[in-house]
Amino acid sequence: MSPSLSSFQRFEARFYSATASWLYDRMVVSFGFRLLAGRLHPKVLAQGTGAVQAAGHRPILDLPVGTAFFTLRWGRGGFVVGADIAAGMVEEAKSRADGRGAEWLSTAQADVQRLPFRDRSFGAIMCTNGLQVMPPLPLALAELGRVLDHAGSLFVCMITFPVGALLPLSLSKHLPTIFKSHRQVLAELRREGWKVTARDRSRLALLFEACRT
């Protein structure tokens, strides 16, 4: 694990690694998503289909790939690089891809703040249930923008607990992304040079498609 990671990032990576093979899908993908975001699964799969179409013949970055639960359902027909900060998630995603003969999915352990990819490497980026816990958001958006082709699209699904909507802006602007309202997240996206071209919501989940301006 990179020595440059923050304490939170180290904890996050270890937690997800430890739960990758036996807990994550059951507690987060199956139970948590339905509880907090209702019928989220079809919306995520629709975003994945959109990413494949938007990428054309270019590779797609799926970050965080998690266990590849969604990736293996939407990614066929494209070439996908599944990246995650958690080594255990990468190993689980690779094992599942190998088990299904999904040669179109490759995996890599990577930190969103220092992605090991060249500029404009990807025709589309999928970011499912990850952007809200990638600190700091401006740096994550900048790095995603660096590796995304100028004509590419970013597809995001994120769940937040918007306590920031109840606080004065002077306080809420300092909150981690996971505690910001959907309006605050979209406003920060625009400040960082992104244009939202489509958006949707499902309970606490915000889904959007964006491109660089």
Tens place of pLDDT for every residue, the chain, 213 residues?
555 667 777 777 887 888 887 899 999 999 999 999 999 999 999 999 999 999 999 999 999 999 999 999 999 999 999 999 999 999 999 999 999 999 999 999 999 999 999 999 999 999 999 999 998 999 999 999 999 999 999 999 999 999 998 999 889 888 999 999 999 999 999 999 999 999 999 999 999 999 999
CA 184 vs CA 66, 71, 177: distances in Å: 26, 28, 9
**Do the beta carbons of residue 72 and residue 45 sit within 8 Å?**
no
Residue 102 to residue 91: CA distance in whole angstroms? 14
153-166 in b/e burial notation, b at 16+ Cβ within 10 A?
bbbbbbbbebebee
User: What are phi and psi for residue 166, nearest 5 degrees?
Assistant: -95, -5
- Which residue from 56, 70, 69 is spatially nearest to 23, judged by alpha carbons? 69
Task: For residue 204, give both structure tokens.
Answer: 């606490």
| DSSP state at residue 204 | T
C-alpha span between 189 and 153 (Å, rounded): 13
Give pTM, 2 decimals. Answer: 0.93
What domains are there in the chain, each with its CATH number? 7-212 (3.40.50.150)
